[in-house]
Amino acid sequence: MYPDSVTASILEYRTIQGRTYHSDRYAHEYVMPNDEQQLQSVDITHHYLTILLDNNLFLAPISPHVQRVLDVGTGSGIWAIDFADAYPSAQVIGSDLSPTQPEWVPPNVHFEIADATLTWPWKDNYFDFTHIRYLFGAVQDWPALFQEAYRCCAPGGWVQSCEADIHFYSDDGTTDSEPALQKWADLYEKGGAATGRTFFLQQEALQERSITEAGFTDVRIFDYKLPVGGWTSNRKLFELGEYVRLTLENDLEGYTLYIWHNVLNWPRDEYPQFLAALRKAICSRKVHGYMMVRYVYGRKP
C-alpha cells in the first residue's frame, strides 16, 4: 500500500490522554487525532457530504475520462476509494500525514505520506483533478497550498476545495441560548489564532481568494447549510442533519481535547462539563443549529 520510504518514525504516533496523533516527525501541529474513533467520524463526514451533493463525490465539471487524481488530506481514504471505484480507468493518489488507510483497496488507488503544507512531492502539470477537503485548522499558508495545487495540476485540470465554517448558526436564535456552542466557537477561534491555522476560512474568503491568486480560472463558489440534528421537516436535510450530529457526537473529545488541553491550556476540571453541555446542545431538537460549508473549484488554463 505504501512505498518502502515509509519509515518506522512515521508510525511512532504520539499518545495524548489516550488518543493517538500523527508522528512528531512532522513540525506540523495538526490538532485532530488519527485513531479509529476519529476515522469513524471522517467516514460519517464523507457520507453526509455525499448526501449533500445528491450522492455525488464532487462538483467540479471534470472530464468523465479523468486519468490522474489527487486527494489531499485523505484521512481514512474513503473519498479516494469511492472515486477509484466510480472511475476505474483513473489512477487515484490519497495523501496524508499518517498511513491510516485500509490495506484492501481498488487496484487503481494508492496512498502516500505527504505534508500538504510543504512542497508537494509530485511533478508539474500532472493531475487532472485535485480534491482538497476539510483541512481547516491544518494550514498556515493557504495561498502557498493552492500554488502547489496549481503547479501540480495539468493544463485544463481542476482543483476543488471544500471547507466548513464550524460556528453554530440559527435563523431563529435558538443557538444563542446555549453557552456550550459559544464555548465551542471560542475554542476554535482562539485555538486557530494560537497555532496560526484558522478554522474559519470563509471569514476571509481564503478558499476563493487563494485559488484565484494561484492562477486558476472559471472559479465557482457554492455555499450550503449543514443542519446539526434532525430538527428540520425537509426529508433530505433531516437525514443530513442526523449524520452531521452523529459525526460530532461520535467524537466530541477528539475534536476538542488537544486544543483545550495542549494549545490553550484551559482548566482541566471544566472540560468534562463542557463536553456534557455540548453533547446536550447538539442533540436537542429545540436547538435549530446549522453550520456552513463552502465548495470552491477552479480550472488551470
What's the pLDDT band for 3 if we cut at 50, 70, 90?
A: very low
Q: What type of residue sits at position 259?
A: I
Q: Which residues contact 101 (CB under 8 A, 6 or more apart)?
A: 1, 74, 76, 77, 80, 94, 111
Specify if 169 maps to a domain. yes
What's the pLDDT band for 8 if we cut at 50, 70, 90?
A: very low
Return the pLDDT at 16: 65
Number of domains the chain is built from: 1
> What is the three-class DSSP state of 276?
helix
pLDDT value at 6 more than 60: no
d(CA 138, CA 37): 19
- Mean pLDDT for the chain overall: 92
Return the pLDDT at 181: 98
Position with higher pLDDT, 101 vs 147? 147
Closest CA to 59 of 299, 296, 226, 301: 296
Instruction: Give me Rg for the CA atoms of the chain.
Output: 19
Closest CA to 79 of 126, 39, 137, 117: 39
Domain housing 93: 8-299
Specify if 205 maps to a domain. yes
pLDDT value at 51 more than 80: yes
What's the pLDDT band for 15 if we cut at 50, 70, 90?
A: confident
CATH classification at residue 215: 3.40.50.150
pTM metric for this prediction: 0.92
Specify if 55 maps to a domain. yes
Do strands 127-133 and 153-169 pair parallel, antiparallel, or not at all (unpaired)?
A: parallel
d(CA 89, CA 275): 45
Specify if 219 maps to a domain. yes
d(CA 259, CA 298): 33
Q: What type of residue sits at position 165?
A: D
- Up-side HSE of residue 292: CA atoms within 13 Å toward CB? 15
d(CA 275, CA 253): 7
Specify if 3 maps to a domain. no
Segment 96-119 shows an average pLDDT of 88
Sign of CA dihedral 222, 223, 228, 230: negative
Closest CA to 264 of 23, 2, 29, 26: 29
Return the pLDDT at 23: 56
Return the pLDDT at 251: 94
The answer to whether 114 touches 121, Cβ cutoff 8 Å, is: yes
Specify if 2 maps to a domain. no
pLDDT value at 1 more than 60: no
Closest CA to 42 of 2, 82, 93, 84: 82
Specify if 293 maps to a domain. yes
Is residue 150 exposed (0-12), middle (13-18) or buried (19+ Cβ within 10 Å)? buried
pLDDT value at 151 more than 80: yes
Q: Cα–Cα distances in Å, from 230 out to 239, 279, 281?
A: 7, 14, 13
| Residue 46, C-alpha cell as written in the block | 464523507
Helix 271-283 × helix 235-250 angle, to 10° = 170
Closest CA to 248 of 176, 161, 295, 180: 180
Specify if 1 maps to a domain. no
d(CA 70, CA 56): 17
Position with higher pLDDT, 25 vs 133? 133
